[in-house]
A and B are shown apart, each in its own frame.
Chain A
């Protein structure tokens, strides 16, 4: 494999691992970790594509910063929801009913 194939392949593998985690885990915190893995794989793909010259590097790096912003937003809100639910002892997503409006 050459220079850019390893990060390309790694980003696809990480995306699949993250999707697998979201679909198979029941714990809300572990699902959150899986979503972080998915977003991390996306940033890796963006930076790798910038290195190929096929895309504008500045645009791709800017998207990475926006993905970071979305990820931090998601972590903050989801951790608060997790703390909120942990008081009731229900962090199993199969049992959640209280998030309905």
Chain B
């Protein structure tokens, strides 16, 4: 159990650090994919396997592909940025993480996650109007994207 969590944490944190510090942007996108895989591993470990599957399908399969396509279509010059900011961010992350682990009492997994059927029923019956708003926003985002690109 702990080995899997440590692996997931290493994947997520290492991938995130690599994503924002890699010299080549395409390798940074690979780091982002590793980060998403780490988060999905955490989800699966916490019992939310359907969220883990969604994370893999939507983000590793969809969002990362979008990043790669956009980067290949644009071929922008690489902007150099100092590594100092990233080192500072990593140090802040370590300090925050150590303080949190020292302050919080040991917590064990106490609540059984809802099954997919229970979650689906609660989600679609309890949040119907919010889902409609989210879908409208997604639709308007697609329309505005098409408008912006057609304008050129």
Contacts and interface: CB of A to CB of B under 8 A. Distances in A.
A75 to B, nearest CB: 5
Given A13-B94, A57-B114, A77-B141, A23 B85 contact: yes
Interface residues of A, number: 66
10 contacts: A4-B46, A7-B42, A7-B46, A10-B42, A13-B96, A17-B90, A23-B89, A33-B19, A79-B67, A80-B144
A51 B20 contact: no
B84 to A, nearest CB: 8
Contact of B109 (A4, A32, A44, A84): A4
Interface in A1-31: 1-10, 12-14, 16-21, 23-27, 29-30
Main secondary structure of the interface of B (DSSP, over half): helix
Contacts, number: 242
Interface of B: 1-2, 5-6, 8-9, 12-13, 16-17, 19-20, 25, 28-29, 32, 35-36, 39, 42-43, 45-48, 51, 54-55, 58-59, 62-63, 66-67, 70-71, 73-79, 81-82, 84-86, 88-90, 92-94, 96-97, 100-101, 104, 106-111, 113-114, 118-119, 122-123, 126-127, 130, 134, 137-138, 141-142, 144-145, 148-149, 152
Main secondary structure of the interface of A (DSSP, over half): helix
A17 B16 contact: yes
B76 A91 contact: yes
Contacts of B75: 86
Given A19-B89, A30-B28, A83-B70, A25 B48 contact: no
A100 interface: no
